[in-house]
């Protein structure tokens, strides 16, 4: 699977398969627990610990969207990047958002709206599927595995290329910009990326249950990614004011990015406040160390 | 989830507006550097790459963990997640 096009096709096929499997399980949950279908899961007054409670889960929720920006990283390989990237960005966000909200809702309904029962489940979606039909658990596992594997494909496609571009532009050692001879794939960036990820997994997660470690380290990684998102929102008005003043729009280039900065910044602020449970109370310090340490 | 979707949706506007003006493989690194200067691009590259690598460590771990569970539960085969994760990572190498 070398080159962006063939591996992206594999990821797309896996995505369609996993979505179909997840929808089968979700619809089965809604049918089995139809008596608990209501609007309560959308009621903000039911948030445990209010927005502080939301902030604990916010990085993990953002994590589930990471990869939506893949289309922009492939811009230079698209024949019409200006239109193509915009379409890809918004369509991917919309599809994924609708899917996640539907699956999350079905999971909550599958636990009969019991937040405590849901919180005690290691993998809630799979735990909810069990009592409905044992075959659904296998389907849910297969969907989960194909989802994770397609995520690995997509992540290495886009994020190794960011390492590659940083090496090409002199922001990282130039060796990270080396390409394979025939397919022109950034093999050094791929190697660095995968080796570091596997290394982190082994060093910090060897003796930890994989599901528990997944939640903890996904949160930590996403805090750093969300910080970048926050700064990107602040960068847009500055960029357009400086370089595209003739096309500056107060809505698209000022209001919306500032709202975006607030939408990410406020939950992050709640997360870094003292009083969060371990290990989340250490994450803001780690994130600060990465930023300042540079 | 809805809160995250709203935040990402607003960020989608940011990314698409940047990409309209300056399509780039570098994505946020290039865009932030264009607005705030070269040093900010370096910091962004390090922070973003670190974040992605930490985040994908979770993918590597859970892929091995899920595979271990599936193999154990349905085929009575025990292979530690650490070994499966290594194989899956090598399988992704170009």
Taking residues A131-137, what's their average pLDDT? 78
The DSSP line for A145-183 is HHHHHHHHHHHHHHHHHHHHHHHHTTSS-GGGG---TTT
pLDDT band of A4, cuts 50, 70, 90: low
The reply to whether residue A101 touches residue B86, judged by beta carbons under 8 angstroms, is no
Contacts B63 to A, Cβ<8 Å:
145, 148-149, 152
Which pLDDT belongs to residue A230? 93
Mutate to test the interface with B, among A70, A107, A210, A219 (most CBs of B within 10 A): A210
Whether pLDDT at A240 is above 90 = yes
A95 touches chain B (CB under 8 A): no
What value does the mean pLDDT of chain A take? Answer: 81
Q: Which residue has the higher pLDDT, A42 or A217?
A: A217
Q: Which of A67-76, A104-113, A148-157, A158-167 has the highest mean pLDDT?
A: A104-113
Interface ipTM > 0.85: yes
The answer to whether residue B47 scores a pLDDT higher than 70 is: yes
> Under an 8 A CB cutoff, do A74 and B4 touch?
no
Cβ proximity of A225 and B28 under 8 Å: no
- The stretch A68-91 carries a mean pLDDT of 70
Q: Is B75 on the interface with A (CB under 8 A)?
A: no
3-state helix, strand, coil in chain B (%, to 5): 85, 0, 15
Read off the pTM: 0.81
A68-82, A237-251, A270-284, B36-50: the lowest-pLDDT one: A68-82
Residue B63's alpha-carbon distances to A11, A21, B88, in angstroms, are 15, 17, 8
Angle made by CA atoms A113, A114, A115, in degrees to the nearest 5 = 105
């Amino acid at each position: 699977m070398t080159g962006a096009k063939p591996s992206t096709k594999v990821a797309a096929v896996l995505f369609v398969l996993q979505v179909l499997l997840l929808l089968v399980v979700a619809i089965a949950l809604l049918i089995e627990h139809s008596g608990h279908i209501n609007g309560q899961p959308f009621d903000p007054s039911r948030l445990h610990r209010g927005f502080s409670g939301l902030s604990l889960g916010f990085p993990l929720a953002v994590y589930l969207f990471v990869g939506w920006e893949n289309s922009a990283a492939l811009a230079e390989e698209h024949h019409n990047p200006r239109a193509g990237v915009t379409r890809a960005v918004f369509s991917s966000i919309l599809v994924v958002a609708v899917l996640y909200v539907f699956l999350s809702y079905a999971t909550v309904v599958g636990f009969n709206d019991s937040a405590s029962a849901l919180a005690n489940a290691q993998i809630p979606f799979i735990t909810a599927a069990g009592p409905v039909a044992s075959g659904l658990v296998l389907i849910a596992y297969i969907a989960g595995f194909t989802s994770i594997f397609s995520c690995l494909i997509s992540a290495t496609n886009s994020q190794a290329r960011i390492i590659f571009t940083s090496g090409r532009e002199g922001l990282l050692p130039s060796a990270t910009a080396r390409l394979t001879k025939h397919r022109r794939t950034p093999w050094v960036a791929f190697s660095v990326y995968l080796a570091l990820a596997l290394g982190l997994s082994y060093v910090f997660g060897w003796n930890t249950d994989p599901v528990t470690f997944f939640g903890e380290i996904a949160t930590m990684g996403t805090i750093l990614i969300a910080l970048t998102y926050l700064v990107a929102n602040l960068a847009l008005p500055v960029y357009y004011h400086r370089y595209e003043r003739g096309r500056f729009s107060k809505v698209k280039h000022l209001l919306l990015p500032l709202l975006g900065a607030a939408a990410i910044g406020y939950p992050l602020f709640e997360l870094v406040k003292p009083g969060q449970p371990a290990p989340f109370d250490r994450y803001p310090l780690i994130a600060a160390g990465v930023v300042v340490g540079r | 989830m809805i809160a995250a979707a709203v935040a990402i949706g607003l960020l989608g506007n940011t990314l698409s507006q940047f990409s309209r003006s300056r399509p780039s493989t570098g994505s946020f690194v290039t865009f932030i550097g264009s607005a705030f200067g070269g040093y900010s691009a370096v910091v962004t590259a390090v922070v973003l790459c670190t974040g992605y690598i930490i985040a994908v460590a979770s993918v590597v771990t859970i892929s091995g963990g899920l595979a271990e569970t599936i193999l154990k539960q349905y085929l009575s085969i025990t292979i530690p997640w650490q070994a499966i994760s290594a194989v899956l990572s090598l399988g992704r190498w170009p």
